[in-house]
A and B are shown apart, each in its own frame.
Chain A
Amino acid sequence: MTGVAEGGGQGPEAGRPLLLGVRHHGPGSARAVRAALDAARPRTVLVEGPPEADALIPLAADEDMRPPVALLAHAVDEPGRSAFWPLAEFSPEWVALRWALEHGVPARFIDLPATHTLAWEAWEKEGHEEGLEKGPRPEGQHQGGGEAGSENRNGNGGASGDDDAPGAWEGVRGDPLGRLAAVAGYDDPERWWEDVVEHRSTGAKDPFAPFAAIEEAMGALREACATEAGEHGDGRDLVREAYMRIQMRAAQREFGPDGVAVVCGAWHVPALRRKVAVAADRALVKGLPKVKADLTWVPWTHRRLARAGGYGAGIDSPGWYAHLFGAPDRPVERWLTKVAVLLRAEDRMVSSAHVIEAVRLAETLAALRGRPLPGLSETSDAVRAVLCEGSDVPLALVRDRLVVGDVLGEVPAGAPAVPLQRDLDRLQRRLRLKPEADARELALDLRKDNDAERSRLLHRLRLLRIEWGDPTASPGSTGTFREAWRLRWEPELSVRTAEAGVWGTTVLAAATAKAEADAVAARGLAEVTGLAERCLLAGLPDALPTVMRVLADRAALDTDVGHLAQALPALVRSLRYGDVRGTDTRALAEVAAGLAERVFVGLPPACASLDADAADEMRRHVDAVHAAVGMLEETSTTPGRADAPAGTAAETAGGRPGAVERDGGGGRPGVFTGGDPDLGGQSRPARGGLPGAVETDRGRGRPGASTGGNEDLGGEFRAARGGLRERWRGVLRVLSGRDTVPGVIRGRTVRLLLDEGELDQGEAARLMGLALSPGTPPSDAAAWIEGFVGGGSGGGLLLMHDERLLGLVDGWLTAVPADAFTDVLPLLRRTFSAYEPGVRRTLGELVRRGPGQRGGGPGTDSGTPGFAAGLDEGRADAVLPVVRLLLGPAPGPGPGPGPGSDPGPADDDELAGVGT
């Protein structure tokens, strides 16, 4: 040990490089590295990392550079293929880089170049290597990060020092640190490493001793693994180590054999120490695949370092580590004081006495568990028991704000462009959308592939807060397949793009990640529904599951039926948009149905004891839900009608409904089946689902498909939803008969039921008579009338044509006492003044003529109760010339039943107008 103490152990003295095996992101390792470098003063520092980033190292000294940051490598032609090397302030690598820069010593990265690691996976797929089970690194982007995936698995093996560079180890090889920890009697390797290495402050002790010990342990471990698993074989690891050895030798030639310090994962140390023939190493690294790679610094956050965030670095508690690294002394006391400050800021009463007790408890716990110092679990237990009164809720806050922390890194302006910018450039070129500073209008026809992609790009950018395009009302067209944008590229959008680089390397991936994050962070239900709509517009099928989950959760926990009722129409609307755009909306439909279900349950109690304003609002909710339920079922059972607004003029010309539907159903999917590869250049899962959706559409578009549609996948589901309308009617009926429900809502529900054909007119008249009977306060009765026939719902026509109802209203009105009349007058005026002048006049005439003049109740031959007994031939004939004119010279068998049923459809149309 004397030699060690004197001048760097087996390091410089022995003419050997100083190998510092670390645990990535270990604050204890970071401290030890700094102490060792200070003691050894090497002439160069080599760090595990992609050598292409050498040129970027000086930026680390820039004063605008603030960790956490990450080195991002991405393939130039394919920004989606990328890898990250996150560095926090407490990362040993970062400490080493800073040390080198501060001491004017050259620093270099010596790991396998990113140009190889990025190409590795594709190469393997071609069969150049017996498949490494190891999750290929460079796919950091692809599936929320191969990076994140392997980090997680490696979290406990992380101490091996190999968790964020390419090629971490495999489960079979086991978790060597876990094995070491188990030998030491720990169940959690993370804690073992902390106790043995991180918590031992180097202090006055020999700065090289821990590294010597680790090297020895790793050496033994690697031997054990090698004998156990034969030629232990992560090919990638071997290649990387060979490359590192080559680089190390080169540096030794340049700076002298003992002038070199290497900071790398502890696992690699024995391999770097091993004497291997130069030729063997060269043979290993020969002929590796290549891809043109670019590197840059990107800002990182503590959340992303934590396991929970994508692209994590496999550490649970970056905030705690930063604290351990930053605190000069008394880490536990300082930490608990920080916690107390946080809790106080959140209005939780925490005194200094609390902190004292928490410190005592943490220390006792550590002693009980046989640990040298309280770790995070002890302090957290103490915080829970003493500061949080046993509750996990404030503890979650502590975890979120302190243990993980809100720290956001910064990167100087001089750093190279992020891949997101490149991807955007590429898309702009491909879609022929030039960024111009002058505003210009852009009209898109979503049935064209190129336009649809443009629209999606603009929507995605808006999600990323890159507001290049501003949607405007499209002039002269209400079709859902048209969109109008105002484009304007302002310089700060480039900055926004750089900022948005945190979310991903392609526009698609970034928008998806952002939408998911937004959904999780959204405050209200309406915000999430809006987001769902935008996800559909932007074509982000991968984000939808998350958004839908959040939406369903929010809906489940929202106790205000009003919110739910507001959210439902937007959701149903997006369902129809989704239909137009060919997105798979099954999940959306499911959530919408669930939402409707919740509204059904919650509505009756929510309608009790409301004042006039609230009742009015609730009536609007009832209307909105009614319309939404109708649409929801339309979209699922009879799409032809749902398409009608989006349809073309062919509808009126075609006359036969079947033809229209086939046209609408067949035309739309065509837009998408022909679509060329997706914006992001990645295949998305929904594309697989697309043909299915098309099939469904076609199936539904066929005449008589209402039964045939059940064969397809969605059929069963649709059948389940078919009951939705039925149940909604049940709710309406409950509302209509409940006395505690305000008159305006009751009236409205009776009207809706009447329009649905659920109540016959006799029953409606009975209910009306009930509501207008002398026992009811006049103001209530007036509200009922308002609900029944008011609000532009076409109620005037109803009264015109059913004189029984008119008679009831008339009778009630004349019976209202004089003093109450002035009270109900405003309401009545509001109800009736909304009618069209013609309707009002007719009503006036009818009333003047007096009730009973037009005789016939139900049971006469016309079949429509409330209408005259027979046809008024004279008036019917008068219409015929016009009808002929409209239909052309050869009228079909059509117009026969026309006049008799004419008012019906007219009424319906009006209603539809109300709903939408």
Chain B
Amino acid sequence: MSVSVDPTTDPTSVQPSGNEPAEALRPHAEDAFADELTALAAQDDRPRPARWKLSPWAVATYLLGGVLPDGTVISPKYVGPRRLVEVAVSTLATDRALLLLGVPGTAKTWVSEHLAAAVSGDSTLLVQGTAGTPEEAIRYGWNYAQLLAHGPSRDALVPSPVMRAMAEGATVRVEELTRIPADVQDSLITILSEKTLPIPELGQEVQAVRGFSLIATANDRDRGVNELSSALRRRFNTVVLPLPESVEAEVDIVARRVDQIGRSLDLPAAPDGIDEIRRVVTVFRELRAGVTSDGRTKVKSPSGTLSTAEAISVVTGGLALAAHFGDGVLRAGDVAAGILGAVVRDPAADRVVWQEYLEAVVRERAGWTDFYRACREVSA
């Protein structure tokens, strides 16, 4: 919230000149896509739930993209199954809490931000979940100066984003819900079931206004997560965001991100990198899916998540190797060690998985001889 853009200026049209405030590094969704939201709102004639800026149909269109009757093009924010977005929007429309699950890099936060922006026009009510998130971040805290000076009162109370959303009938987001300690998580139960937040110190409560909803994101395959209690879990409708559907899509994502990161690290561009990227992505996808890309051989899956994000870091690491210690071209040897590190998380079980994969799949594959050798070298 502290870095929010001055509401009086339109960040998309801000020019870094004069005495205007500097352009934010990354504008909020509702600011970046303000014109699309306005166009949608103007042409949206379907019923809107209380305090929603758009109808559920328009929210779905905003996320998935489309062309409005007047020709306005809405860019797709999320590329993936339509079904998922529809379930997510319907969940919010039934005043249920929405839990977005998925491994890192599946656009959970991105989707939640855009949902909040489209539904409430405000994506800034945010609780970032960490291992140290206190109860105050979900319920309320106190302004101790006020508290000591004037005693407990609503003035001395510092509302949390959740409390503000309840009072305003807006959408609040909780990032990384499973990182939050279990006892703090459970303070959400009353909020979600009774839609009320008691303030025993004042003998008061804050009741949620219609339109209040909560979107949580969580990563269910990480270690060290705090499982949701079943009481809390059943307050959520769950949508699992999948990994990219096809190799091509994933190669594209990886290549694009690697390019961005590489530029910011000032790595020299690797001309033939795309083939190696494709190989890394293929290995990741096959191990993840437990079946080879031709669908003919099953393989065991290792314990790691092997997300797209990891593929990106493997390739980036390989590029750095190639640039600084190699001949500047991304080669099998540059990514082999990275892949090994990403795949073999559990030294005993995963090593077997990896070697089986090498012997049963990689060794036989035409054109992969260099890759096989490189992997054998680092695995030995």
Contacts and interface: CB of A to CB of B under 8 A. Distances in A.
B300 A557 contact: yes
Contact of A386 (B237, B299, B300, B352): B237
Interface string A376-414: 010001101110111110000000000000000000000
A128 interface: no
A598 B353 CA distance: 10
A559 interface: yes
B230 A601 contact: no
Interface in A360-387: 360-361, 364-365, 367-369, 377, 381-382, 384-386
Given A385-B237, A557-B300, A368 B348 contact: no
Contacts of B351: 605
B150 interface: no
B202 to A, nearest CB: 31
B359 A597 contact: yes
**Most interface-central of B83, B90, B296, B297 (chain A CB within 10 A):** B90
B87 A389 contact: no
A600 to B, nearest CB: 7
A390 B356 CA distance: 31
Nearest to A389: B238
Contact of A365 (B86, B99, B101, B234): B86
B368 to A, nearest CB: 15
B211 interface: no
Given A556-B298, A557-B298, A594-B360, A361 B87 contact: yes
Interface in B200-249: 230, 233-234, 237-240
B101 A559 contact: no
B360 A605 contact: no
A556 B230 contact: no
A364 B238 contact: no
Contacts of A451: none
Interface string A731-766: 000000000000000000000000000000000000
A391 B99 CA distance: 12
B17 interface: no
Contact of A368 (B57, B96, B240): B57
A598 to B, nearest CB: 6
Nearest to B358: A601
A569 B244 CA distance: 41
B239 A390 contact: yes
Contacts of B86: 365, 368-369, 381
A600 B90 contact: no
A364 B237 CA distance: 13
Interface residues of B, number: 35
A365 B90 contact: yes
Given A368-B90, A597-B359, A354 B298 contact: no
Nearest to B364: A720
A716 to B, nearest CB: 12
B298 A361 contact: no
Contacts of A437: none
A556 B297 contact: yes
A559 B300 CA distance: 9
Given A381-B86, A390-B240, A368 B355 contact: no
A184 interface: no
Interface string A555-568: 01101000000000
**Most interface-central of A353, A361, A385, A601 (chain B CB within 10 A):** A385
Contacts of A605: 348, 351-352
Nearest to A360: B94
Contacts of B112: none
B93 interface: yes
B90 A389 contact: no
Interface in A444-463: none
A818 to B, nearest CB: 40
A382 B83 CA distance: 11
Contacts of B290: 557
A346 to B, nearest CB: 16
A539 to B, nearest CB: 25
Nearest to A554: B298
A357 B90 CA distance: 11
A354 B234 contact: yes
A549 B298 CA distance: 9
B308 interface: no
Interface in A338-358: 349, 351, 353-354, 357
A602 interface: yes
B93 A357 contact: no
Contacts of A368: 56-57, 60, 86, 89-90, 93
Nearest to B349: A559
A552 interface: yes
Given A357-B237, A361-B87, A601 B352 contact: yes
B265 to A, nearest CB: 36
A553 interface: yes
Contacts of B89: 368
Interface string A585-622: 00000000010011011100100000000000000000
A600 B352 CA distance: 10
B297 A598 contact: no
Given A368-B60, A389-B233, A598 B360 contact: yes
Contacts of A364: 56, 90-91, 93-94
B118 to A, nearest CB: 14
Contact of B234 (A351, A360, A549, A552): A351
Interface of A: 349, 351, 353-354, 357, 360-361, 364-365, 367-369, 377, 381-382, 384-386, 388-392, 549, 552-553, 556-557, 559, 594, 597-598, 600-602, 605
6 contacts: A361-B87, A361-B237, A364-B94, A369-B86, A381-B86, A602-B356
- Which 4 pairs between the two chains have the least Cβ-Cβ distance? A390-B238, A556-B298, A390-B240, A364-B90
Interface of B: 56-57, 60, 83, 86-87, 89-91, 93-94, 96, 99, 101, 230, 233-234, 237-240, 290, 296-300, 348-349, 351-352, 355-356, 359-360
